Amino acid sequence: MSFKNTYIGTIVYAVKSLATGMKVTLCEFFTRKVTEHYPENRKTLKISDRHRGVLVMPHDDEGNNKCIACGLCQMTCPNGTISITTKSVTDEETGKSKKVLVEYNYDLGACMFCQLCVNACPKGAIEFSNEFENAVFDRKKLVLKLNK
Amino acid sequence: MTDFNTIIEAIDSSLNSMMPHSAAVLVECILAAVCAIGAYLVFAIIMIYMERKVCAAFQCRVGPDRVGKWGILQVFSDVFKMLIKEIIDIKNSDRILYNLAPFLVVMSSLITFSCLPFARGLQVLDFNIGIFFIMAASSFGILGILLAGWSSNNKFSMIGAIRSGGQMISYELSMGLSILTLVVLSGSMQISELVEDQTRGWFIFRGHIPAVIAFIMYIISGNAETNRAPFDLPEAESELTAGFHTEYSGMGFGLFYVAEFMNMFIIAGIASTIFLGGWAPFYISGLDGFNEAMCWIPGIVWFLGKTFFVIWLLMWIRWTFPRLRIDQVLVLEWKYMVPIGLLNLLIMTICVVMGWTF
Amino acid sequence: MMEVTFVEIEEFRSTMIHLHRKGMDFLREMIGMDWNEEGLGAIYILENSDTHECTEIAVRTTDRENPELPSVSDLWMVAEFYEREVFDFYGIRFTGHHDLRRLFLRKDWVGHPLRKDYDTSEEINPIRMESEPVEEFSREYDIKDDKELAEKVEKLKILHYDQYTVNIGPQHPATHGVLHFHLSLEGEEVRKVDIHCGYIHRGIEKLCESRTYPQTLAFTDRLDYLSAHQNRHALCMCIENAMGLEVTERVQYIRTIMDELQRIDSHLLMYSCMAMDMGAITGFIYGFREREKILDIMEEVTGGRLIQNYNVIGGVQADITPGFAQKVKEYCNDQKKRIREYYDVFVNNVIFTNRAKGVGVLTRNDAISFGATGGTGRASGWACDVRKRHPYAMYGKVDFKEIIHTGGDSYDRLLVRLEEIMQSIHIIEQLIDNIPEGDFRTKTKPIIKLPEGRFTASVEGSRGEFGVFIESRGDKTPYRMKFRPTGLPLIAAAHKIMKGCKIADLITIGASLDYVIPDIDR
Amino acid sequence: MEMKKPVIKSIPYEEFKDNETLEALIAEINKERTNVVLGRLDDLINWGRSNSLWSLTFATSCCGIEFMSVGASRYDFARFGFEVTRNSPRQADLIMCAGTITHKMAPVLKRLYDQMAEPKYVVAVGGCAISGGPFKGSYHVLNGIDKIIPVDVYIPGCPPRPEAILYGMMQLQRKVKVEKFFGGKNKHQQKGYMPDEPIIVTNCPTEQTNGKDE
């Protein structure tokens, strides 16, 4: 029977393996800590810009956006997170009636961040920002109105 | 070495002058009780804070640091929250035993706490069979855990309690053996005499090999007595949700939580008393200047320094090892610790008889 | 395309016995089907574990009131759970199955959801707030001699009332999710295990039947979220093969590297959770410290830490960031040094070796009969790596060793995972430096329609073979989409190896099998 | 004595979201708050409770993994005092519902919530807990846990980043700091607390009617 299975052998092997374990934790006791102090490092925190935090509709300085109210994003969304209300406006020169966006509601609570809406948008009117601080107390506050 | 006896005699004489002897004794008892409980709670809070910080350090993270300067007030906020939590009474639990259990555990740890020699003369109970009394008092803490497990009408806590019964009773044996080895070396069981004897060299150095083996055995069985780390089967988080105190909420759980930490302090206190010389300063025979310098550090600093070093050792063990299975716990005790303990006792007696100790 | 041979009910049993004797000992997948007029049935995908050749057998019954098929649970042990699932979703009763109960849904659930004529309105199945009635008796169906189906209530009580029964229930720190073990104990010994799943059953397969193909991609990430990338790779590969869409070389490289990163991430989590379940919280924290580095790389490239959303039909969502190769190499070097630490702190620890060696032994034949692929199968000596059996993406051109251990106990299962981390790093290092140029995504039409027929694809997920089966009738949404669960065979195996162990061993076996519950319940 | 705005270290009050609900709570409490001593005691207890919220280990699916990495060393929510994740509902103050709640799991969640000791809170982590998320139309999924238990903080995301979970916990800390404990109405003391009607933005297209151009 090898030394390892004898009575003394098990004790020696046990003590050796326990000691190596404790050596590792002791070294860890004195190494630099890896914790990121979240609230303190808010200014310097760098989140990858591809991170999908919340859907936003960028507006240029005069406050109009690129959305043409085609409803493609509403259709491709798997669980009905986006709801667009439009109204038809007769254009003066051409006289044709054109759909204009009235309200662009986006339910952040139901979104699953699958980016199908952004891929489907022909005009690139909506995109994901990496703003992750969205916790709220009231469920209704999660329904955001994206167009100004 | 500052000697607290003079202060105590001064208080005693002033009290006797003011009131009849029986009233003075009563006031002294109340004073001693208040000091013991006060020290008990202060140490509990320091210990909880130290446990969280040391555990975080071992796990390369930071631990509580947002409440108060370095997270010092963290434990106070835990205490406040614990005081206010609702105490749920369980439907068909055995109400008397259910409510008695936490107090049994706290009482046993409070009695053993008051036997610890904080400094020369600063000791609440000092019998001539001190160590034997500590062993006896610390063993009825198991009753509290068994009652808690049985009476809270929850199958997990029942399993946890039975496990703790089996584990703590068997580890009393190896703890007793390791203490007995030291009593053989020192010749007396009175705690103050034990420490007095160590002023000319701590037992762990004078008893050389058998004392070191006894120290390691004592640390292992101390860990098992307080249900910590490799032996934390009674409240094994990942197996029995919260073990024997699953059904306790609010202050019931708070008492168990404090008692667990104070048991650890007591184990470390006893270890530093009988192995590392309690409040006796570091002594090397021959270097008188060095010994003189050592005496300037007050006894209580020595005692607390050694105790917190042993606590750090226990925490180091806790945060490194996985949990044992119940049959391995008992195999380790009966097949390894008891035979080695007896052998060690034999070696120590031979050394003492032949005079090979320093 | 997948060729399915239909068999009549009468000779179904005999063909199955014949095939089993011929060496088809691995029941890869069993897919319940509802072909409307042609009736209800099931498709069995069998494979020979040595020669890796597969056959597909299907059987159906036109009787919709009480459909009934012969059971094969005596030939392949995993069929016991697959048949319970098909009974739960389609109502097909399997005669000869000794314990036919609902696997996922509640006992008082009305109707069988995956049937095409199932009504999902709230009135039939409201949210029942009282807890589920516990089943006392197992139920077995048998054909009486006069051909009508009789429900013979087997007197085999599942859990005797007088035994000390404990629920290691849906909310428990060591069940890796919401799995419910109903145990009967004898002191510390576990006499009988009855596993209930379904607490996280979200009906993904029913949802997929009403979603377009790009929309179904998002569900694969949420099946087994620790092999999110491989699952999505499998679905994209299946749809691309069906459409005949060729993917550029660059995308193959990127997908293989990201698959291997996801595998390391999952194995690190397996090691950490096993350490936490056995009491070594520090081992858990060390594992998570390295895992955070991978999550940083994943987030940099794909935008998601755990759910990446990166594979799309035709390629990947966005090109890899410039610093990607540098970061991955840095991580690989650091991981090689750190893995030594895991062995010292936890794996070589005498307490762990005593608690894990010889605990929950799964023999090779049992592993094959249960279909327990992945690390669990390889720890029992069965070479079941899909990357070697049916190579896909870059795995044919990359040299790596398939880790095989023969012990079959919890100790070997952990060793297989840790050594596989090193193999994955070896694969990444071969690929990372020569990612070819090319566009990361080939353009596809907005509405994707698959041609008629049945398509399958399978991938080596982090904890087993993850298969995708699509039956399409040529329109936008799939007629039937089935995902092979990597965890269900592990639960079937656990059901057998956990009998007679101690409570602490039950937790060790559960941790070493490393199942992810949403992947079981779908 | 006025109750001040709740202060969280190193994040100014204005940068928090949804302050209106908090201000409504503060205004409501300030109406009945007359006694200075009780007010002071309230603040002390609220400080104690908000810095030591022990969460119950309750994770059903993917958000559970993010919950674990919040507890691990990189984000380390022990800094806030939530270190001890209790396994028994008796000793936990808060349920962090991380993951999907299905029909079979709903009674279990309700029972766990009822077993917790009284000052208890619920945080809905991730889209599944808020509204059923990716599985909103499924026959077996509960569309949002606010149908069965009152929810205090909603953390959107699928799964939310660990920092988002920490941000949600800080929001909960602010809500705990704004509570009246001694005498008078406390949100939790009204028995039969009815969760407000969950709004549905668009009824989820169960019979998939998208692709209207057909």
- Phi and psi for A104 in degrees, rounded to 5? -120, 95
Does the interface predicted TM-score (ipTM) exceed 0.85? yes
- Min Cα–Cα distance to chain C from D43, Å: 34
Q: What is the pLDDT of residue B63?
A: 87
Structure tokens at A87: 């109204």
What span, in angstroms and rounded, lies between the C-alpha atoms of A142 and B189? 70
D121 assigned to some structural domain: yes
Low-confidence ranges of chain D (pLDDT < 70): 1, 182-214
A41 assigned to some structural domain: no
Are residues C105 and D110, on separate chains, in Cβ contact within 8 Å? no
Claim to verify: residue A129 and residue A64 sit in the same structural domain: yes
* Number of domains, chain B: 1
Question: Average model confidence (pLDDT) for chain B?
Answer: 89
Which residues of chain A have a CB within 8 Å of the CB of B320? 18, 21-22, 24-25
Cβ proximity of C421 and C236 under 8 Å: no
What span, in angstroms and rounded, lies between the C-alpha atoms of C174 and D129? 22
Nearest to B62 among A11, A24, A35 (CB): A35
- Residue B92 pLDDT > 50, yes or no? yes
pLDDT-based confidence at residue C155 (cuts at 50, 70, 90) = very low
Q: What is the pLDDT of residue D193?
A: 43
What span, in angstroms and rounded, lies between the C-alpha atoms of C260 and A16? 35
Angle formed by the axes of helices B141-151 and B130-139, to 10°?
Answer: 0
* Number of domains, chain A: 2
Are residues B321 and A28, on separate chains, in Cβ contact within 8 Å? no
Cβ proximity of C509 and C410 under 8 Å: yes
Are residues B236 and C173, on separate chains, in Cβ contact within 8 Å? no
Cβ proximity of C65 and C38 under 8 Å: no
Write down the residue that tokens 């109204």 correspond to.
Answer: A87
Claim to verify: residue C253 and residue C355 sit in the same structural domain: yes
CB contacts < 8 A (B, D):
97
**Residue type present at position D188:** H
Nearest to C504 among B55, B155, B239 (CB): B239
A39 assigned to some structural domain: no
Q: What is the pLDDT of residue D214?
A: 33
Q: What is the pLDDT of residue B188?
A: 86
Test the C interface: residue of B59, B157, B238 with most C CBs within 10 Å: B238
Q: Give tens-digit pLDDT for C262-275.
A: 999 999 999 999 99
Q: What is the pLDDT of residue C273?
A: 92
Nearest to C299 among A20, A48, A119 (CB): A48
pLDDT-based confidence at residue C137 (cuts at 50, 70, 90) = low
- Residue B157 pLDDT > 50, yes or no? yes
Nearest to C280 among B61, B321, B326 (CB): B321
Chain B positions with Cβ closer than 8 Å to A: 56-62, 316-317, 319-321, 336
Claim to verify: residue C392 and residue C495 sit in the same structural domain: yes
Q: Give tens-digit pLDDT for C461-481.
A: 999 999 999 999 988 999 999
Claim to verify: residue A22 and residue A80 sit in the same structural domain: no
- CA closest to A18 among chain C residues: C349
* Number of domains, chain C: 2
A121 assigned to some structural domain: yes
D112 assigned to some structural domain: yes
- Residue B93 pLDDT > 90, yes or no? no
pLDDT-based confidence at residue B278 (cuts at 50, 70, 90) = confident
Mean pLDDT, rounded, for C150-158? 52
Are residues C178 and D161, on separate chains, in Cβ contact within 8 Å? no
Are residues B60 and A33, on separate chains, in Cβ contact within 8 Å? yes
A108 touching C (Cβ < 8 Å): no
* Cis, peptide link before residue D6, omega less than 30° from 0: no
Claim to verify: residue A80 and residue A110 sit in the same structural domain: yes
Which residues of chain D have a CB within 8 Å of the CB of A107? 131, 201
B332 vs C174: which has the higher pLDDT: B332
- Min Cα–Cα distance to chain D from C120, Å: 6
CATH number at residue C492: 1.10.645.10
D150 touching A (Cβ < 8 Å): no
Claim to verify: residue C344 and residue C480 sit in the same structural domain: yes
Nearest to C354 among B60, B241, B328 (CB): B328
D208 assigned to some structural domain: no
Q: Give tens-digit pLDDT for C34-81.
A: 988 888 999 999 999 888 889 999 998 988 888 889 999 889 999 999
Q: What is the pLDDT of residue C140?
A: 67
Which residues of chain A have a CB within 8 Å of the CB of B59? 28
Question: Residue B267 sits in which domain range?
Answer: 85-354
Report how far apart, in Å, the C-alpha atoms of C387 and of each of A91, C365, C417 are. 60, 21, 16
pLDDT-based confidence at residue B251 (cuts at 50, 70, 90) = confident
Claim to verify: residue C114 and residue C256 sit in the same structural domain: no
A49 assigned to some structural domain: no
Q: How many CA atoms lie within 13 A of B125 on its CB side?
A: 17
Show the 3-state SS of chain B. Answer: CCCHHHHHHHHHHHHHHHCCHHHHHHHHHHHHHHHHHHHHHHHHHHHHHHHHHHHHHHCCCCCCCCCCCCCCCHHHHHHHHHHHCCCCCCCCCCHHHHHHHHHHHHHHHHHHHCCCCCECCECCCCCCCHHHHHHHHHHCHHHHHHHHHHHCCCHHHHHHHHHHHHHHHHHHHHHHHHHHHHHHHHCCCCHHHHHHHHHHCCHHHHCHHHHHHHHHHHHHHHHHHCCCHHHCCCCCCCCCCCHHHCCCCCHHHHHHHHHHHHHHHHHHHHHHHHCCCCCCCCCCCCCHHHHHHHHHCCHHHHHHHHHHHHHHHHHHHHCCCCCCCHHHHHHHHHHHHHHHHHHHHHHHHHHHHHCCCC
A40 touching D (Cβ < 8 Å): yes
Are residues D73 and C288, on separate chains, in Cβ contact within 8 Å? yes
- Min Cα–Cα distance to chain C from A17, Å: 5
Are residues A76 and C286, on separate chains, in Cβ contact within 8 Å? no
B60 assigned to some structural domain: no
Mean pLDDT, rounded, for B151-159? 87
CATH number at residue C82: 3.30.460.80
- Phi and psi for D41 in degrees, rounded to 5? -60, -40
Structure tokens at C355: 């608690």
- Residue C413 pLDDT > 80, yes or no? yes
CATH number at residue D95: 3.40.50.12280
Q: What is the pLDDT of residue B334?
A: 93
A95 assigned to some structural domain: yes
Are residues C218 and A112, on separate chains, in Cβ contact within 8 Å? yes
Q: What is the pLDDT of residue B292?
A: 83
Q: What is the pLDDT of residue D190?
A: 43
- CA closest to D18 among chain A residues: A136
Which residues, in sequence order, are CB contacts of B348 under 8 Å at separation 6+? B181, B184, B185, B207, B210, B211, B214
Question: Residue C18 sits in which domain range?
Answer: 5-143
D157 assigned to some structural domain: yes
Question: Residue D128 sits in which domain range?
Answer: 54-172
CB contacts < 8 A (A, D):
144
Q: Give tens-digit pLDDT for B290-331.
A: 888 888 888 889 999 999 999 999 999 999 999 999 899 999
Among the three residues C143, C171, C188, which one is the final residue of a domain in this structure?
A: C143
B23 assigned to some structural domain: no
Chains that touch A (3 or more CB pairs under 8 A): B, C, D
C282 assigned to some structural domain: yes
Nearest to D103 among C128, C171, C307 (CB): C128
Q: What is the pLDDT of residue C350?
A: 92
- Residue C141 pLDDT > 70, yes or no? no
* Number of domains, chain D: 1
Q: Give tens-digit pLDDT for C421-456.
A: 999 999 999 999 989 998 898 888 888 899 999 999
Of A126-130, B121-125, B193-197, D115-119, where does mean pLDDT reach its minimum? B121-125
Structure tokens at D78: 């022990």
Termini Cα distance of chain C = 25
pLDDT-based confidence at residue C316 (cuts at 50, 70, 90) = very high
Nearest to A135 among D11, D127, D167 (CB): D167
Claim to verify: residue C134 and residue C211 sit in the same structural domain: no
Nearest to A25 among B58, B61, B336 (CB): B58
Q: How many CB atoms lie within 10 A of CB D174?
A: 22
Which residues of chain D have a CB within 8 Å of the CB of A37? 79
Question: Residue A65 sits in which domain range?
Answer: 54-145
Among the three residues C90, C109, C143, which one is the final residue of a domain in this structure?
A: C143
D151 assigned to some structural domain: yes
A98 assigned to some structural domain: yes
Nearest Cα to C285, choosing from A29, B103, D180? A29
